[in-house]
Amino acid sequence: MEHVRKLPGIDPSQSAPTAGEVRDECLFSPDSRPASSPENEYAVFPGFVDVHVHLREPGFSRKETVLTGTLAAAAGGYTDVCPMPNVSPVPDSAPHLEETLKAARGGVVRVHPYGSLTVGEAGEVVSDLEGMANSVVAFSDDGRGVQDEGVMREAMLRAKALCKVVAAHCEVNGLLRGGCIHEGKYAREHGYPGICSESEWREVERDLELVRDTGCAYHVCHVSTRESVELIRAAKADGVDVTCETAPHYLLLDDSDLRDSGDFKMNPPLRDASDREALIAGVLDGTIDVIATDHAPHTAEEKSRGLRDSLMGVVGLECAFPALYTGLVRTGIVPPERIIRMMTSAPAERFGIVRDPDTNYCVWDLGEEYEIDPDKFLSKGRSTPFRGMKVFGKCKMTVCDGRIVWIDDGFDPSEITKR
């Protein structure tokens, strides 16, 4: 972990206190929301788990590296991240996966890569799932939907035999029609081609039927539409083995927040207010299990072409919890324990990620208020719709396997344990 030494304030020889020692001083408990803004409202949470990130290595290190992406993760309170397989080469066989695993060793937090569902993520031939199963967290073709129903069925059956989750990016290519943002009021008023909600939920609907047939463990990535929430809620009620995630931007923003900037360009797009409300309802009633960031860094140039021509994807690791805490918890919309569960035990349980909570945790000052400034991010990616948002909650320290992997400027861990 020699690279950690380059970070200001981190002394890797310093041994971290255990979570138990720190937790004694924690002012936050699931039953009591912290008071408005006293100084230093410290809270200790288990290390966050993000089952949907893009670390861009191997192949696209101009956008992000495993090192910069995992430093960003550590600064956001994460100890476990699962990078998607849209890298080069795509991990679709044991030799190709070896490249991803080699890159993953450069991380400062634990990295659990996905293997792809199909060769080259091309959707035509199922990958060598059997050859990769022991070294991947799950299988996904994230970045695109698997268009062919027969291919998806075969992938589900083979993943089930391996006891692995299939995580699906649901998108029907034939319904996209060159859209760049949600097909809604903003797109109509400003003359943008729209992406209809149906392009997402049609594939969710198809896959849920396949899951009923195959019995595979199925997880829907970045749910953004109310119809998807309804389909998943109904399937869960029928006992179908489905879980799903959404991302902070879909819970906190909608198309009325859009501006002509690459900061608002992601896939799926920000939907409308009724979708956002349905997602929050899904969080509250347990239909939505997991919050993932879909951290998807691109270069500044790739994000500089406005809504129409910027590449899809925004970063999220360094602002996810502060944005959610400020927008959903402090406002009383979602209980804090629900958000924490969706960022810790829920994804860990679904994806079989095992860790010791005593040596994997993050310390937050929930009373610290500041403005989200992407220019200070450790990620190479700087594009986020939360730029400039006034938030509460600063990550003061992240401990992964007993080692301090992030410490905020001027924070002294002994200050908490001694008080």
Looking at beta carbons only, is 187 or 292 nearer to Zn ion? 292
Distances (CA, A) of 356 to 319, 366, 401: 24, 24, 8
- Position 295 contacts Zn ion (CB under 5 A): no
- Position 318 contacts Zn ion (CB under 5 A): no
Looking at beta carbons only, is 142 or 203 nearer to Zn ion? 142
Closest separation between CB of residue 268 and Zn ion, Å? Answer: 8
Looking at beta carbons only, is 101 or 312 nearer to Zn ion? 312
How many Cβ atoms from other residues are within 10 Å of residue 101's Cβ? Answer: 15
How many Cβ atoms from other residues are within 10 Å of residue 88's Cβ? Answer: 13
Q: Which residues contact 62 (CB under 8 A, 6 or more apart)?
A: 299, 380
Stretches 27-35, 37-45, 139-147, 302-310: which one binds Zn ion (CB under 5 A)? 139-147
Number of shown-chain residues binding Zn ion (CB under 5 A): 2
56/78 Cα distance (integer angstroms): 18
Looking at beta carbons only, is 10 or 90 nearer to Zn ion? 90
- Position 203 contacts Zn ion (CB under 5 A): no
Stretches 6-14, 165-173, 200-208, 233-241: which one binds Zn ion (CB under 5 A)? 165-173
- Position 57 contacts Zn ion (CB under 5 A): no
Catalytic residue among 92, 128, 254, 294: 294
Looking at beta carbons only, is 169 or 219 nearer to Zn ion? 169
255/271 Cα distance (integer angstroms): 6
Closest separation between CB of residue 169 and Zn ion, Å? Answer: 4
- Position 169 contacts Zn ion (CB under 5 A): yes
- Position 171 contacts Zn ion (CB under 5 A): no
- Position 54 contacts Zn ion (CB under 5 A): no
How large is the angle between the packed helices 198-214 and 226-237, nearest 10 degrees?
20
- Position 202 contacts Zn ion (CB under 5 A): no
255/36 Cα distance (integer angstroms): 30
Closest separation between CB of residue 173 and Zn ion, Å? Answer: 13
- Secondary structure string (H, E, C) spanning 142-175: CCCCCCCHHHHHHHHHHHHHCCCCEEECCCCHHH
**Joined tokens for residue 114:** 């996905």
**Catalytic site includes residue 294:** yes
Q: According to CB under 5 A, which one of 50, 80, 128, 142 is a site residue for Zn ion?
A: 142
Q: For the chain, give the number of residues.
A: 419
CB 137 within 8 A of CB 112: yes
205 φ/ψ sector (left φ>0, alpha ψ -120 to 50, else beta)? alpha
Query: Where along the sequence are the contacts to Zn ion (CB under 5 A)?
Result: 142, 169
Write out the catalytic residue numbers: 294
